[in-house]
Amino acid sequence: MRMRNLIYALFTLLAVNTTCTAMAQQGSDFDRLKAEANENSLPLVNLTTDIDAVTKEEEIDGTIEIFDTKARTNGQEYFKTGCRVKYRGSSSLAYDKKSFAIKPTDESGDKTDVNIFGIREDDSWILDAMAIDRIRMRNRLCFDLWNEMSQTPYDTDYGNRNGTLGVFVELFINGNYHGLYCMTDKINRKLLGLKKADEEDDGSVTIKGVLYKGDSWSDATNLLGYDKEAPVDGETWNGWELQHPDDYPCAESWQPLMDFIDFFQASGDFIAQNYGDHLYTENLADYAILQFATNYRDCNMKNTFLSTESINKGVRFLITPWDMDTSLGGEFNGDRYDHMADVESILSSRLFDAITKANADGIMDGIKAQWKQYAAGPLSIEGVCKRIDDYAEAFTKSGAWQREHDKWNGNPVPLTEDINDELQYVKDWYARNFNHVSEALGIETGITGIDATEDGQQAKTYTLDGTRLPDGAAYDGITIRGGKKYISNADGK
* CA 160 to chain centroid: 18
The one-letter amino acid code at 363 reads I
Measured distance CA(299)–CA(279) in Å, rounded: 17
The answer to whether the CB of 42 falls within 8 A of the CB of 177 is: no
Nearest by Cα to 222 from 252, 260, 256: 260
Mean pLDDT of 384-401: 98
Whole-prediction pTM value?
A: 0.86
> What pLDDT is recorded for position 15?
37
pLDDT in tens, 238-282: 999 999 999 999 999 999 999 999 999 999 999 999 999 999 999
> What pLDDT is recorded for position 285?
97
Instruction: Using alpha carbons, list the distances in angstroms from residue 437 to 282, 343, 433, 486.
Output: 19, 7, 6, 16
Measured distance CA(100)–CA(90) in Å, rounded: 12
In DSSP terms, which residues pair with 241 in a beta bridge? 213, 236
DSSP 313: G
Strand 166-173 to 44-49 pairing: parallel
pLDDT in tens, 158-180: 999 999 999 999 999 999 999 99
DSSP 16: H
In DSSP terms, which residues pair with 480 in a beta bridge? 462, 485
The answer to whether the CB of 38 falls within 8 A of the CB of 68 is: no
Measured distance CA(444)–CA(60) in Å, rounded: 55
Report whether pLDDT(16) > 90: no
The model's confidence at residue 476, banded by pLDDT at 50, 70 and 90, is low
pLDDT in tens, 20-71: 333 333 589 999 999 999 999 999 999 999 999 999 999 999 999 999 999 9
Listed in sequence order, the residues at least 6 apart from 352 whose beta carbon sits closer than 8 Å to its beta carbon are: 284, 288, 346
Nearest by Cα to 309 from 150, 148, 189: 189
The one-letter amino acid code at 357 reads K
* Cα dihedral 375, 378, 379, 381 in deg (nearest 10): 90
Report whether pLDDT(9) > 70: no
Three-state secondary structure call for residue 178: strand
